[in-house]
Amino acid sequence: MIVDAIKAVECRPLSLLAELTYRCNLQCPYCYNPLDLGSYARELDVETWARVLDEAAAMGIVHVHFSGGEPTLRPRELCALVSHARSKELYTNLITQGTFLTDALLDELLSAGLDHVQISVQAAHAALADYIAGTRVHEKKAEVLRRVASRDVALTLNCVLHRHNIDEVADIIAFAETIGVKRLELANTQFYGWAFKNRFAIVPSRAQVERARTTIDLARERLRGRMEITHVLADYYELFPKPCMNGWARQFLTVAPDGRVFPCPAAAAITSLHFDAVTDASLEWIWSHSEAFNAYRGTSWMPEPCRSCARREVDWGGCRCQAFLLTGDAAVTDPACSLSPRRDAIEALRVEDEHPAVDPRENGFVPRRFQRQPVP
């Protein structure tokens, strides 16, 4: 009886990612945000966001993740929306890089009822972390992390792994232990947005990925019951693709700063689809009836080899955005699958041998920045 007591809920909208803004003072080259950041300058107002939260609660959504960009760049709206979400019994999560989390803002967020904070670091040590972030922030983040860890709110430390920091994953775990976090998310870079643009400069080698896997598995065992470590795998070195978003439009919604609604945070890249906005339709209508949400929902859209595959309701065909970015067609099997006829597209990204031993600073990537808008 108890053995079956804990199971994940499936097949209904559970989670809403609320991207309040794409503005950010960091320039991380692995950011999944779209490249055309400047075209999201007009941001939804707080009244519209409150209506979106009302609609989300009515649909049975449970979690709201406030993210961006950097959501604390809209502190007044953020506090108001956390409070509003809690009044609708929603679970509230703040995903932040932390540099603006003053004690005053924390006080306000906690009295608004914030349940959980996820703070990211770029590496374990300042020199590399600041190089990746494109600005001096690591010491500040470490100080913020220590303050948040002492407060009455759940804290997750997140670090995105890539070629330049994955070899120091043991140091990142040690850093998390020093801070005293209960949850650590070690996420291999997923190649969308800026990360896709920078893919050849930041992709780790297979040997790096395997070494990190061993280190993380051992740490997990050692820290069991004290710290939960989530390891997001590098799908381009796996045999099967990730079940992206647990299937297109099955559990997740993202509302972008301009109000458009996506089944996943990277889907704006699929230029062959039209995505509706909360300013034009209700969240419920978009979830149930919009063309984009129904395009790849379930299994009936699947081509071979997915259609007849025993794993079709395990992998859900992998990731539609990755299929589009790598092949130009969102409706084909994710090339990360070893059965995909287009697996050559992933193999071209892999680094099978060790990277040549050079200073990472010599492998330039393009920092995430707002493009200067051309003067008309």
CB contact set of 56 (below 8 Å; sequence gap of 6+): 13, 16, 64, 88, 90, 253, 283
In the complex, minimum distance from the CB of residue 1 to another protein, in angstroms, rounded to a whole number: 6
Cα gap 224→235, rounded to integer Å:
25
- Closer residue to another protein in complex, CB, 251/333: 251
- Closer residue to another protein in complex, CB, 62/201: 62
User: Which residue stretch of 2-10, 35-43, 324-332, 352-360 sits at the interface with another protein (rule: CB under 8 A)?
Assistant: 2-10
Are 253 and 263 spatial neighbours (Cβ–Cβ below 8 Å)? yes
Cα gap 31→190, rounded to integer Å:
9
Residue 187 binds another protein, judged by CB under 8 A: no
Residue 141 binds another protein, judged by CB under 8 A: no
Residue from 23, 88, 116, 147 in contact with another protein (CB under 8 A): 116
How far is residue 343 from each of residues 15, 163, 253, 326, 331, measured CA to CA in Å?
A: 31, 22, 28, 10, 15
- Closer residue to another protein in complex, CB, 9/239: 9
Residue from 227, 270, 332, 345 in contact with another protein (CB under 8 A): 227
The strand pairing partners of 16, in sequence order, are 64, 253
Alpha helices of 203-265 — where are they, by DSSP H? 206-223
46-65 binders of another protein (CB under 8 A) = 62-63, 65
Could you give the 3-state DSSP secondary structure of residue 279?
coil
CB contact set of 243 (below 8 Å; sequence gap of 6+): 314, 315, 316, 318
In the complex, minimum distance from the CB of residue 10 to another protein, in angstroms, rounded to a whole number: 9
Residue 140 binds another protein, judged by CB under 8 A: no
In the complex, minimum distance from the CB of residue 254 to another protein, in angstroms, rounded to a whole number: 15
- Closer residue to another protein in complex, CB, 187/201: 187
Count of residues interacting with another protein (CB under 8 A): 31
Cα gap 208→190, rounded to integer Å:
16
Residue from 21, 67, 72, 93 in contact with another protein (CB under 8 A): 93
Are 67 and 252 spatial neighbours (Cβ–Cβ below 8 Å)? no
Residue 179 binds another protein, judged by CB under 8 A: no
The residue ranges that bind another protein (CB under 8 A) are 1-9, 14, 62-63, 65, 89, 91, 93, 115-116, 118, 152-156, 182-183, 224-228
